[in-house]
Structure 1
Amino acid sequence: MVPKIAIVGAGTAGISCARTLLKYGFEVTIFEARNRIGGRIHDSNVFAKPVDLGPNWMHGDTLQNSALKYFKDASVALHDIGSCGTIFSPNGTQYPPEKVNYIEEFMWQYVEEAIEHSKTQSATIDPDLSLYDYVEKVTMDRYQDNAELREQILMATSIFGFYIGEDVKKQSLKFAFLEEPSPGENLFVASGFTSILQNMAKEVLDNVDLHLNTAVVGVDTSESGVLVTLTTDQSVAFDAAVVAAPLGVLKKRAIAFIPELPQRLGSAIDSLGYGRLEKVYIRFPRPFWNMDYFEFFAPEYAPMSNPAKWPMSAISLSQLPEPYNQPVLLWYLYGDMSQKVVNLQSDRDKIEFFEPYFSRIPGYEPGRDVPEAIVYTSWSKDPYAGYGSYSCFTAGLQEGDRDIEVLRQGLPERRVWFAGEHCSDVLQLATVGGAYGSGMHAAKLVIEQFSCKN
């Protein structure tokens, strides 16, 4: 008999898992809660050209990136955002170019130093310490007599929040090594992820039994086989299941496991953090700027809309190669900042939130450069995304590396495995490549299990 495998979720991990299982002759059924495949890979066509609402980047251009072949396809245009950018000081003035370079070099120096410290000293680091705590202490030790430089380094370090999806003051120092980036270049996918998704799903969709608009609410292994329960109250029997739902879905216990998950697996799900990265695209009548990116440190000039002085960060889409360029600024938001913007009532309110920042960019003319349209994400309100974006590792975490390994092992004795960016190897966590690799990993565990039976 051909083994029948259920996959929960048609995102990158689910598609990858299905592709591998099909190669080995398994019969595969995919249940997807949305009306489309792709999970967080999704775009908007509100502007003249599409923009990605999910991932924007290829993380790493070496074979460490499990999805590298899809990024290297002829249909994909990759772009180096470049180093022509500027930073605005807390009072809204621009730092001179030499100061910008100086600050950014320091930022990456200390982040990389913290990650290296985490790699070598993790066992002895207090779990409650954050990466920010580390940088604050080191800079105080090294620059006791230069308060201005210390402040600038710490403000620059806060920008790391845009990479992890949460406030850097919440980033675990003990497990900062889990944030180590994949080796190689990080490039912006100028052509968008649609063609990447299509290539990933090629041949898969024609050979699986795909059920869209079908959420899984239960996975029962109390009897022989695996019984998958759907929102329609229908239950379908399989020989095994791979749960490729987002970490946030597992954290919310949106899928009931019968019997309950083992305590160690449940604690791994609960312990890992789940970021809140959101994006806002604002389209203007013209690209009045001539730089690649803009950063705004601890702004003091928006006391009503930003009393917490959250840093702001935007990159230019006008610098992308033809035909993908457009007069758009892409703003990244994280943590409490993202919740503030997502919960603003209207498009106008959201645009006004960003006005103190884009109005300071050289070339802006108030009567001429009125924003034409806005597109934004709201993953933190999306139940199928688990009310967030991707895994992160917050202060207080006790066994982060072990938690991931427990998830990667799954429940072979119950014929249930897990896949997703939160189940990837260390250098691919929270990336599309990681999600893809985790799908292959889960599929291989299924194959090994059934090979042993034959």
Structure 2
Amino acid sequence: MASKPNRQLNRALCYSNNGNRIAVSPSVIIIGGGMAGIAAARALHDASFQVTLLESRDRIGGRVCTDYSFGFPVDLGASCYALYDMAGNKVPQELVTEVGEDFKSIMDEANQVRSENSEDMSVSRAISVVFERRPDLRLDGLPHKVLQWYLCRMEGWFAADADTISLKCWDQEELLPGGHGLMVRGYFPVINTLAKGLDIRLGHRVTNIVRRYNGVKVSVENGRTFVADAAIVAVPLGVLKSNCIKFEPRLPQWKEAAIADLGVGVENKIILHFKEVFWPNVEFLGVVAETSYECSYFLNLHKATGHAVLVYMPAGQLARDIEKLSDEAAANFAFTQLKKILPDASDPIQFLVSHWGTDVNSLGSYSYDIVGKPHDLYERLRIPVDILFFAGEATSMDYPGSVHGAYATGALAAEDCRMRVLERYGEVDLFQPVMGEDTPAFVPLQISRI
């Protein structure tokens, strides 16, 4: 039997500047031009939908941001150790490896504490319980400082402090095969390719989303309104938490609770560009100290890119404290940390500083599980509300906080939206493959956190 021909989809409505409706192909408004929003827009555009993407910034990419001011690409967002003490003495590699094994043992014991307690607790509290049970796992002197550095790295992964990270959920994220990579040319080429040919409106900060039985109306700060059959909300969790976007009617209580109960952390990058390389050829340079707050680490971009660049990466409370400084003061702080381990370090010739926590377009770096809250909050945030769909790293159960998680949720929201809109107008062919089904499946390389 011959396959059913594709009918022209011409019943849906799109926007006009004064809110009047014009009969065109099925329409959707994408709110947010980060990786999730761009992925959703690309998929729906390729499915013959009328797509309009509204982005508050003057650029696309969201928390994926590639800067070219140094004359080469450096990512301010998504991206073997050499550790030193505060006196600049290098920590023996054997000790670094040994303490790494100790940290694994401590977290294994912490997981045992988790299995014995019905109530959640913070990772920091669990470690304290482990030390009470197993005094033999306590470390003193330099090993203790190295242990604090490992804890500092863990806090960097979640962009949050250990006393706020959920013990119950800290290891729930899935890791893709293939390990980590570095986008040596930056993420911009990826974003730019996905965005090619899309109707993207920069400088359009959304303030209000009204949903009715026959579509959505989206208002932006400059007074314009856009009308479509459905909308995909792909703004950062921090922006949703700020309530700067009003929903009419209000979102259901379960959706508002998911927004309120998910944590959003801060990790920033202070990028130092030097005239020449004066540090060892390792992936990370680390500073060990008595507390994780005092510890720090530098990503060595020279190892992968050939450019003399180190990236200081504070997270949690330290990142929030540094955001209170001027860019110059923040760069000086990072350089002071570097001088502690490499006293002969030359002054940087350029610097860049990110502000993900205070940037009104992000209000945080990425999501994490906080103490006492269920891991399925990510899924609750993803679930559509009528003709409103949600995407972004904070809607990914398996890959929260990651670029690949954001991309996958954008594609998923696009397919959910497509099916819902076509179902409404009787255009769904149950035997038609879903978007992407006729193309080979692939797993994106796990590049970095956002």
Q: TM-score, normalised by structure 2?
A: 0.82
User: 1:254: Cα distance to partner?
Assistant: 1.4
Match of 1:409 among 363, 383, 397: 383
Q: Which residue does 2:22 correspond to in 1?
A: none
- For the pair 1:168 / 2:172, whether they are aligned, the reply is no
Provide Cα deviations, 1:45-88, integer angstroms capped at 9, x if missing partner. Answer: 232322111111xxxxxxxxxxxxxxxxxxxxxxxxxx1x2222
Q: Count residues in correspondence.
A: 399
* 1:379 counterpart SS class: coil
Match of 1:389 among 357, 362, 365: 365
Residues 375 and 416 (structure 1), Cα distance of their counterparts in 2 relative to 1, 3 Å cut: same
* Separation in 2, partners of 1:4, 1:218: 18
- For the pair 1:375 / 2:359, whether they are aligned, the reply is no
Q: Which residue does 1:87 correspond to in 2?
A: 83
- For the pair 1:102 / 2:78, whether they are aligned, the reply is no
Provide Cα deviations, 1:168-206, integer angstroms capped at 9, x if missing partner. Answer: 2211112213344334301222221122222322xxx41
Match of 1:350 among 330, 335, 355: 330
Q: Which residue does 1:132 correspond to in 2?
A: 124
2:149–2:296: 8 Å Cα contact kept in structure 1? no
* Separation in 1, partners of 2:415, 2:111: 31
Give the structure with the higher percent helix.
1
Q: Which residue does 2:394 correspond to in 1?
A: 422
Ranges in structure 2 where 5+ consecutive residues have no aligned partner: 1-10, 12-24, 427-450
* 1:195 counterpart SS class: helix
* Separation in 1, partners of 2:174, 2:148: 19
Q: Which residue does 2:186 correspond to in 1?
A: 192
Q: Which residue does 1:333 correspond to in 2?
A: 314
Residues 27 and 110 (structure 1), Cα distance of their counterparts in 2 relative to 1, 3 Å cut: farther
* Separation in 1, partners of 2:58, 2:287: 38
* Separation in 1, partners of 2:112, 2:265: 22
Residues 333 and 150 (structure 1), Cα distance of their counterparts in 2 relative to 1, 3 Å cut: closer
User: 1:144: Cα distance to partner?
Assistant: 3.3
User: 1:90: Cα distance to partner?
Assistant: 5.6
- For the pair 1:157 / 2:151, whether they are aligned, the reply is yes
After superposition, the CA RMSD in angstroms is 2.4
User: 1:298: Cα distance to partner?
Assistant: 2.4
Q: Which residue does 2:339 correspond to in 1?
A: 359
Q: Which residue does 1:78 correspond to in 2?
A: none
* Separation in 2, partners of 1:254, 1:97: 49
- For the pair 1:314 / 2:294, whether they are aligned, the reply is no
Identity of aligned residues (%): 28
1:170–1:395: 8 Å Cα contact kept in structure 2? yes
Ranges in structure 1 where 5+ consecutive residues have no aligned partner: 57-82, 301-307
1:107–1:156: 8 Å Cα contact kept in structure 2? yes
What letter corresponds to residue 26 of structure 1 in structure 2?
F
Provide Cα deviations, 1:234-290, integer angstroms capped at 9, x if missing partner. Answer: 222211110111111111111110001111100100000011110001122221111
Match of 2:65 among 42, 46, 52: 42
Q: Which residue does 1:66 correspond to in 2?
A: none
Q: Which residue does 1:296 correspond to in 2?
A: 287
1:130–1:171: 8 Å Cα contact kept in structure 2? yes
Q: Which residue does 2:269 correspond to in 1?
A: 279
* Separation in 2, partners of 1:355, 1:33: 33
* Separation in 1, partners of 2:104, 2:278: 29
1:136–1:154: 8 Å Cα contact kept in structure 2? no
1:115–1:179: 8 Å Cα contact kept in structure 2? no
User: 1:98: Cα distance to partner?
Assistant: 0.7
Q: Which residue does 1:433 correspond to in 2?
A: 404
1:295–1:314: 8 Å Cα contact kept in structure 2? yes
Provide Cα deviations, 1:284-306, integer angstroms capped at 9, x if missing partner. Answer: 22211113211112269xxxxxx
User: 1:111: Cα distance to partner?
Assistant: 4.5
1:164–1:392: 8 Å Cα contact kept in structure 2? yes
* 2:30 counterpart SS class: strand
Provide Cα deviations, 1:370-404, integer angstroms capped at 9, x if missing partner. Answer: 2212111011121111x11111112232x231x21
* Separation in 1, partners of 2:406, 2:105: 28
- Greater displacement, 238-247 / 89-98: 89-98
Residues 419 and 330 (structure 1), Cα distance of their counterparts in 2 relative to 1, 3 Å cut: same
2:131–2:138: 8 Å Cα contact kept in structure 1? no
Q: TM-score, normalised by structure 1?
A: 0.81
Residues 98 and 422 (structure 1), Cα distance of their counterparts in 2 relative to 1, 3 Å cut: same
Q: Which residue does 1:264 correspond to in 2?
A: 254
What letter corresponds to residue 391 of structure 1 in structure 2?
S
* Separation in 1, partners of 2:108, 2:221: 46
What letter corresponds to residue 344 of structure 2 in structure 1?
E
User: 1:145: Cα distance to partner?
Assistant: 7.5
Provide Cα deviations, 1:93-142, integer angstroms capped at 9, x if missing partner. Answer: 33212101212233345447757986xx49x5423x11222233334433
What letter corresponds to residue 366 of structure 2 in structure 1?
Y
1:289–1:361: 8 Å Cα contact kept in structure 2? no
**1:245-256 alignment, distance < 5 Å:** 245-256=235-246
- Greater displacement, 178-187 / 324-333: 178-187
* Separation in 1, partners of 2:102, 2:194: 39
* Separation in 2, partners of 1:195, 1:270: 34
* Separation in 2, partners of 1:110, 1:431: 26
Residues 381 and 309 (structure 1), Cα distance of their counterparts in 2 relative to 1, 3 Å cut: closer
